[in-house]
Structure 1
């Protein structure tokens, strides 16, 4: 009996210490911190929601599943998580394209369709979760998994490039860094290389495009890309801005964009031409 009493006393002592250490003041402080965190998270979520960018109506016909525009067919894949743009006689090379943060994926449908038509390559436009594939973990991880799924779903495509607009280019760089043997090229539209990819000097080619009126990607930021991207082709679109890679805008978050001095159609034509030429050269380099 005495032994049982001693065991019960010893078992109760840690609980008494915990209860004595959790004073009412500490409970109040923990509750206040939790409420502050929830308020900040709610405010940040509201800020992102308010700055979402819908696609222009001009982009809708290019994003219509089953449609064919200028000979390029739009096909749904990955359980509605992506659109594939397939030209009449596709080459064995493809591009997976990641939208910019907060921008509706359909805004990039005209550009992806034009790249497919001009290059003869399959272009896969991802539909990313909550439009936030590039806003840090876990969203970047989700975006990278969808890139991998798109590549796996099209085994007939032998050579792949991965690219994107703005922060979508960051997701592309993250995927390339983690999967160096799966990708032959990385394509950045109005984007900065977040990761140093020079270790892939022997196997990776790069394309970086910037509009001269881009209000988010400054000249200094763009000029830093050669220090991180191997075998780089750099293209400047005279008069182009940050939002001109997609059919959306104007862009005011996180910084106000510059004003285009050329039409949206002119910027899209120059971007698609530069990207298609780069893809064709990438295909030739792989032969």
Structure 2
């Protein structure tokens, strides 16, 4: 068979291969989108209702994030908070409400693309721009959101991890950092927190909340693979408020 006769066959094979690869990529993309929308852990209604009713907090529901600002208008420090994987952003509003109402910290809770922080490639200023009057910014997050926060940390003034740890090395960054974890966490276990502490600056503050589980950092119900919390929601919120408030205040010292 001549070269001329064979050429169309190779072109057909090439197009078949390219078409097959394209179809697989499309199926995989659709699968990821569908998976990301299934099993999203919703915010519990009662804690969220209490935040909405708190006249000390002004809530702005932006397409990319939820902004919780002190009604007093005075806010020198802000916290960009990235949710854990497949957890509704609203599920963190009650836990973070104390630092807004009592400490005057503006909190921006992001709404990650596909409910997964790793797919959200927006830079930090996409969220800090929602509160332009704030000068000092902490970036932080829960679980996978904390891992993403570590990747954005060099664009912030400080880092706060909630039941999370870094995958990148920030030990030489000089950033003020705090890691808040739970003694009963079955996912970001105390052992995992300890194994990865070397990735944070040597003077980073590590606090383990006694009785807290992984899901204690939000209001979205129990989570598969987690430990059993022995701390009440009220006490958990109080401890987070105290810890974050003090950390935020230290940035101005």
- TM-score tier by shorter-chain length is 0.7 to 0.9
Q: Secondary structure at the match of 2:252?
A: helix
| Structure 2 residue corresponding to 1:141, chosen from 115, 121, 140 | 121
Residue 128 of structure 1 deviates from its aligned partner by 2.4
Pair 1:121-2:105 in alignment: yes
| Structure 1 residue corresponding to 2:133, chosen from 152, 156, 159 | 156
Is the contact between residue 99 and residue 126 of structure 1 (CA under 8 Å) also seen in structure 2?
Answer: yes
| Structure 1 residue corresponding to 2:38, chosen from 36, 39, 50 | 50
- Who is 1:4 aligned against? none
Question: Scaled by the length of structure 2, what TM-score is found?
Answer: 0.85
Q: From the superposition, tell whether residues 41 and 219 of structure 1 become closer, same or farther in structure 2 (CA, over 3 Å).
A: same
For residues 115 and 193 of structure 2, what CA distance do their matches in structure 1 show? 24
- The 5-angstrom pairing of residues 198-217 of structure 1 reads 198-201=171-174, 204-217=175-188
- The 5-angstrom pairing of residues 77-226 of structure 1 reads 79-87=62-70, 88=72, 90-132=74-116, 134-135=117-118, 139-142=119-122, 145=123, 147-177=124-154, 179=155, 183-201=156-174, 204-226=175-197
Residue 42 of structure 1 deviates from its aligned partner by 4.7
- Who is 1:229 aligned against? 200
Q: Secondary structure at the match of 1:119?
A: coil
- Who is 2:223 aligned against? 251
For residues 80 and 35 of structure 1, what CA distance do their matches in structure 2 show? 31
Task: List gaps (5 residues or longer) in structure 1.
Answer: 1-12
- Who is 1:242 aligned against? 214
Residue 229 of structure 1 deviates from its aligned partner by 1.2
Pair 1:271-2:243 in alignment: no
Residue 96 of structure 1 deviates from its aligned partner by 1.1
Instruction: Say how many residue pairs are matched.
Output: 249
Question: Scaled by the length of structure 1, what TM-score is found?
Answer: 0.76
For residues 31 and 207 of structure 1, what CA distance do their matches in structure 2 show? 49
Deviations 1:236-270 (A, max 9, x none): 01111111111102212xxx111111222222221
For residues 7 and 181 of structure 2, what CA distance do their matches in structure 1 show? 59
For residues 198 and 104 of structure 2, what CA distance do their matches in structure 1 show? 31
Question: Which structure would you say has the larger Rg?
Answer: 1
Bigger share in helix: 1
For residues 166 and 262 of structure 1, what CA distance do their matches in structure 2 show? 19
Q: From the superposition, tell whether residues 75 and 32 of structure 1 become closer, same or farther in structure 2 (CA, over 3 Å).
A: closer
Residue 75 of structure 1 deviates from its aligned partner by 2.9
For residues 236 and 252 of structure 2, what CA distance do their matches in structure 1 show? 24
Is the contact between residue 59 and residue 108 of structure 1 (CA under 8 Å) also seen in structure 2?
Answer: no
Task: List gaps (5 residues or longer) in structure 2.
Answer: none
Q: From the superposition, tell whether residues 40 and 73 of structure 1 become closer, same or farther in structure 2 (CA, over 3 Å).
A: closer
Q: CA RMSD in A?
A: 2.6
